Amino acid sequence: MQNLSLPIRLGILVAALAAVYFLITTFVSHPESAPSASVTAAHRSEPRADGAKAEAVKPTAAAAALNGRPSFNYPAPKPVGGKVRGVVELGASGFNSFIVRTDAQHNWELQKSEFDNSLLMENLASNDEIRRGLRAYIANMLDYGVGGRDIHFVVSSGALKMPAAHRIAKELTQMGYVVNRMTPEKEAALGLSVAMPPPFSNRAFVVDIGSGGTELSWKVDGKPQSVSTFGSKYYEYGATDEVVASDVKAKAQQVPDLVLDLSILIGSGAYEMV
């Protein structure tokens, strides 16, 4: 089991989450119902390999019919006016940059994005290579019209497990940039705030599948709640498939019944499935 490839291991994690979601929605929320397919939608606006945006992923008509629920079709409100801002995410497996337009109501729209492989977790990238990549991201954002004070860096909780990430964050701080160090709780709360459509906040939950960790988040009385479990590269830390499956099941069972109508997948793991 320990020699399985990354796609297979990612599949194990996703399958475990999906199976638990199916069980709790079928036998906890609706014990009188027959088993049915669950509806899962990726709300986050991200580009595909061909450059096109993947807005909301809608289930097929057949899946919606099996579910007995309408298909998920939520047009996210676009920002009115606003300004462009840049974000560089230092993740455990990738350095990703995003240029977004935001307005005073916190509506946002993706303008441009770049994805790269940091190899932090594999310890295969030198500090010089990483610095060159970060400077290239900064230069591209400045060329796009993003102000220097509007470029922010986010270090994921998974990346913070890597010594190199702390050195890079320190250097960026010395250069005058804002570096936001994430905890699993902060990641979950921020992911929930940008990915959860307001009309669904009282009946949906968010699953953020990253390489270093997975966060499940939801709202109770308007306040964010979350639990964390292993990421798609759990084998890097020596965790067995059985331990991961058990932990995912235990954490997923903490999601309240009231928010089980819809699951929204985001993160690198979810993006690979689109």
Q: What per-residue confidence (pLDDT) applies to 21?
A: 44
Per-residue model confidence as pLDDT tens digits over 75-102: 889 999 999 999 988 877 777 889 999 9
Q: What per-residue confidence (pLDDT) applies to 42?
A: 34
160 vs 213: CA distance, rounded Å: 11
Q: For 83-182, CATH number? A: 3.30.420.40
pTM, two decimals, is: 0.67
Per-residue model confidence as pLDDT tens digits over 190-233: 889 989 988 898 899 999 988 888 999 999 988 999 999 998 88
The CA angle 187-79-104, to the nearest 5 degrees, is 75
91 vs 76: CA distance, rounded Å: 26
Domain spans of the chain, in order of start: 6-76+197-273, 83-182
Residue 44: Cβ within 10 Å count? 23
> Which amino acid, one-letter code, is at 243?
V
Residues of the chain with pLDDT under 50: 1-10, 12, 14, 19-66
Q: What per-residue confidence (pLDDT) applies to 44?
A: 34
- For CA atoms 19, 23, 26, 28, the dihedral sign is negative
Q: What per-residue confidence (pLDDT) applies to 246?
A: 95
Q: What per-residue confidence (pLDDT) applies to 127?
A: 67
| 246: Cα separation from own chain's centroid | 21
